[in-house]
């Protein structure tokens, strides 16, 4: 039993080494992990059989003399995992393989405000089945499913505790999804969309190499994912990052949560469109709206430009508090904000420099998301694969 | 060399075990640490010689049958460390021994607003020398000194980067202190007062057993210490917890930092005294002011009661943002706030329940500090002793 546990752990050690180092020879894996070459060869053979690793053929880098070493890399032809996203005005799916390649991706504009969870899940399930059929046709096996949802999510039970913009309370989303999708034997999880967006940026986006940052997700709703010391910080009860319902204007407009002057009311997509005088909800996604706005400003529309400055000032006021308390290296602007960073950066930088005591000594950078509006659904897809990489044997248990 | 390193580490293992478990026998230490009995006896003998452990004599707990085991405990007669505090309206000193007993404590009211760092350090040095003479007379050896200061502190260089209420910028406090105190061969550090207060509450106060909390320090200035996952969180550059300069009223009064409507302007001691119609700065400490206010309210002074409610509402507005973003288990009210929790709890709880989205599912507790106004200077004194406990040999190096 002990030996099996050691072998299981070593499979993870080897797969993680390859994931971190790119194509490597067995000898390099042995040198890097401290395992002996015979063991490495046997582990690599098993990982190839599991379709998690693949031979790359002879290493043909120029300057390599002598007999070239046979190298292995992560396999894109074995497992895939599925990210699903429920947001206020769209549904999205994304399937990625172990190399990080997107193998299926789709998004549809749907108004989910004050919606029936069963109906929304029904629509999402249709999209999910299409994605699953597509990746199955590509010969890939499913390693896990994660659903990104706005609001407070209880990850342990897969419940959306409250999502004011959807009008949801205590929705057992994991249970609903399990029934609709008939997915068995692979992990099915629900997580907050901003947390998943932050993880995606940390793993493959603007957060790579950063230790402490706050990822801001802004579509209709506004949320945040807080990364500290290179780890997602979830808070004592799992509800950290609730940036959208931060009070920035105590006498401001009434919010869907019942309070007044929440940041989401002042910088969410609805506010942006209203200030800019655009009828909403727009057909298409928030990204489309952002593109429209950018085009207008470039065409000389000062009203839209002023609207964005106002958004930037409110957002800056809210973020200044967060930066004072957390002293992060960077704020990563996600959702529609990333596409408009050109006009938001200046009011945000001004707000932080005026309102953050440490700003002269520890300036906080404003970075646009590198993944864009898809960050949450990409993070949702990547999450199960991260687990496969650290514990490859886990996929056997559900196969 | 390697064997020396092992022995050095094992001295720490044994001392930490005794610190965590109270009086224990050598056999219990061996069982608890996995070290063999002969090694434990030798390590204990060395720690006794270093005056870090002491024999307790026979264990006379009732119900103990057979030959009672000889137990050892932390020694209160060996080392001591010194905490010094510079605050806006007082200076304080505190020396504690390894058992946590306070061996010297003193505080004086001094108005340090817009002060000369050299002059303040001169006064503090006089108090420090008195403390050192006192503990030396008690036969104790100095293990380290920590200075608590308000504002942004660069811990690595011992510099107060900015402390708006003192009017200080880039003050090399560790260097000034080293010159004035002629302390050699023991660690001399500077840290933010709210961080040290948070550590004191975590180690010996209201934060014991909590994993995620925010300690609020409020005297004239307002700061916070953020504890996450049982550890003090310092932020990317060491400046986390800057609660005092959080904007809560964008059009509010001008602050010493140059901005408007900072929380410190609205809930600091000056605001409290002004709203309550008390002339300030009061003689004596913030605690004295808090006691005066409590007495007034108990005597039926509704104006003071209203002032406190107003303070609680502003503080609640600022803390609601922090709680939305961090989702902590508790807020610990330190400084003058702890003594007035009776009147602050209700407006704070109301603000959090109205403005924190997760408040119905993950209520954040409001706890008074257990250490009180002395939290920062107690934390300052405790810090070097924590290091002695984890690495007892470190004291030899400076002896």
Kindly provide the ipTM of the predicted complex, given to two decimals. Answer: 0.90
A-interface mutation test, from B321, B347, B363, most A Cβ less than 10 A away = B321
CB contact burial A158-179 (16+ within 10 A = b; e otherwise): bbbbbbbbbebeebbbbebbee
pLDDT of amino acid B66: 57
For range A331-359, the mean pLDDT: 94
How many angstroms separate the CA atoms of A382 and B35, rounded?
44
At B226 the pLDDT is 98
Q: Give the minimum alpha-carbon distance from B237 to chain A in angstroms, rounded to a whole number.
A: 6
Using DSSP's 3-state secondary structure scheme, residue A134 falls into helix
pLDDT tens-digit map of A136-167: 999 999 999 999 999 999 999 999 999 999 99
Q: Any chain B CB within 8 A of the CB of A209? A: no
Q: How far apart are CA A116 and CA A125, in angstroms?
A: 14
Contact A245 B161 (CB under 8 A): no
> What confidence score (pLDDT) does residue B70 get?
85
Task: Spell out which residues of chain A touch residue B327, defining contact as CB-CB under 8 Å.
Answer: 234-242
pLDDT at residue A277, rounded to an integer: 76
Q: What pLDDT does residue B59 have? A: 47
**In this model, does residue A250 exceed pLDDT 90?**
no
pLDDT digits (tens, 9 = 90+) for A41-78: 999 999 999 999 999 865 445 555 555 568 999 999 99
**Rounded distance between C-alpha atoms, residue A340 and residue A335, angstroms:** 10
Asked if B164 contacts B114 with a C-beta cutoff of 8 angstroms, the reply is no
pTM: 0.92
Find out whether the peptide bond into A281 is cis, omega within 30 degrees of 0: yes
Residue A182: predicted pLDDT: 83
Q: What is the pLDDT of chain A when averaged over all its residues?
A: 91
Looking at the complex, report in whole angstroms how far the Cα of residue B255 sits from the nearest Cα belonging to chain A: 11
What digits encode the pLDDT tens for the residues B21-52? 989 999 999 999 999 999 999 999 999 999 99
Reported as a single tens digit per residue, the pLDDT across A183-237 is 878 999 999 999 999 999 999 999 999 999 999 999 888 999 999 999 999 999 9
Whether B259 contacts chain A with CB within 8 A: yes
Residue A59: the pLDDT is: 47
Residues in B closer than 8 angstroms to A356, CB to CB, are: 242, 245
Q: Which residues contact B59 (CB under 8 A, 6 or more apart)?
A: B23, B25, B68, B69, B70, B71
Q: Which of A255-269, A380-394, B271-285 has the lowest mean pLDDT?
A: B271-285
Cβ neighbours of A360 in B, within 8 Å: 162
- A residues 299-338 closer than 8 Å to B (CB): 317-318, 320-322, 324-329
Q: Note the pLDDT of residue B251.
A: 85
Q: Provide the pLDDT confidence category of residue A278 given band limits of 50, 70 and 90.
A: confident
Say what the pLDDT of residue B133 is.
96
Cβ-based contacts under 8 A for chains A and B: 152
Write b or e for each residue in A124-140: b if 16 or more Cβ atoms lie within 10 A of its Cβ, otherwise e: bbebbeebbebbeeeeb
Residues of A in contact with B241 (CB under 8 A): 325, 327
Q: What is the mean pLDDT of residues A291-310?
A: 90
Per-residue confidence (pLDDT) for residue B285, from 0 to 100: 54
pLDDT of residue A280: 60
Q: What is the mean pLDDT of residues A28-41?
A: 96
pLDDT at B253: 87
Q: Inspect the interface and report whether the beta carbons of A326 and B328 lie closer than 8 Å.
A: no
* Residue segments in chain B with a per-residue pLDDT below the cut of 50: 59-60, 399
Give the chain A residue nearest B244 (alpha carbons): A324
Shortest CA distance from A329: residue in chain B: B236
């Amino acid at each position: 039993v002990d030996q099996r546990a050691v072998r299981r752990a070593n499979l993870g050690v080897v797969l993680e080494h390859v994931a971190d180092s790119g194509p490597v020879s067995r000898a390099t894996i042995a040198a890097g992990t401290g395992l002996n070459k015979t063991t490495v060869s046997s582990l690599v053979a098993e990982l190839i059989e599991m379709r998690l690793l693949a031979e790359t053929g002879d290493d043909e880098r120029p300057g390599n003399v002598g007999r070239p070493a046979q190298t292995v890399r992560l396999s894109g032809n074995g497992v895939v995992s599925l990210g699903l996203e429920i947001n206020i005005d769209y549904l999205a799916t994304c399937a990625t393989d172990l190399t990080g390649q997107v193998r299926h991706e789709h998004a549809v504009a749907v108004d989910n405000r004050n919606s029936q969870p069963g109906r929304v899940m029904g629509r999402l399930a249709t999209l999910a089945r299409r994605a699953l059929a597509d990746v199955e046709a590509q010969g890939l096996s499913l390693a896990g499913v994660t659903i990104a949802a706005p609001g407070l999510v209880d990850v342990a039970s897969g419940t959306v505790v409250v999502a004011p913009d959807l009008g949801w309370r205590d929705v057992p989303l994991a249970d609903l999804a399990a029934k609709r999708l008939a997915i068995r034997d692979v992990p099915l999880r629900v997580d907050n969309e901003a947390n998943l967006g932050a993880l995606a940026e940390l793993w493959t986006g603007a957060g790579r190499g950063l230790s402490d940052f706050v990822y801001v997700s802004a579509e209709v709703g506004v949320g945040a994912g807080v990364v500290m010391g290179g780890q997602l910080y979830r808070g004592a009860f799992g509800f950290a990052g609730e940036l959208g319902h931060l009070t920035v204007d105590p006498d401001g407009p009434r919010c869907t949560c019942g309070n007044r002057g929440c940041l989401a009311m002042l910088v969410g997509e609805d506010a942006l469109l209203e200030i800019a005088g655009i009828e909403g909800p727009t057909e298409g996604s928030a990204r489309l709206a952002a593109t429209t706005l950018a085009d207008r400003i470039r065409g000389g529309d000062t009203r839209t430009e002023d609207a964005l400055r106002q958004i930037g000032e409110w957002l800056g006021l809210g973020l200044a508090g967060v930066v004072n308390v957390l002293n992060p290296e960077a704020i990563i602007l996600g959702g529609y904000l990333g596409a408009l960073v050109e006009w938001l950066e200046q009011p945000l930088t001004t707000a932080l420099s005026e309102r953050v005591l440490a700003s002269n000594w520890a300036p906080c950078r404003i970075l646009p998301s590198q993944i864009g509006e898809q960050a949450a659904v990409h993070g949702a897809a990547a999450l199960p694969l991260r687990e496969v990489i650290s514990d490859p044997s886990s996929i056997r248990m559900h196969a």
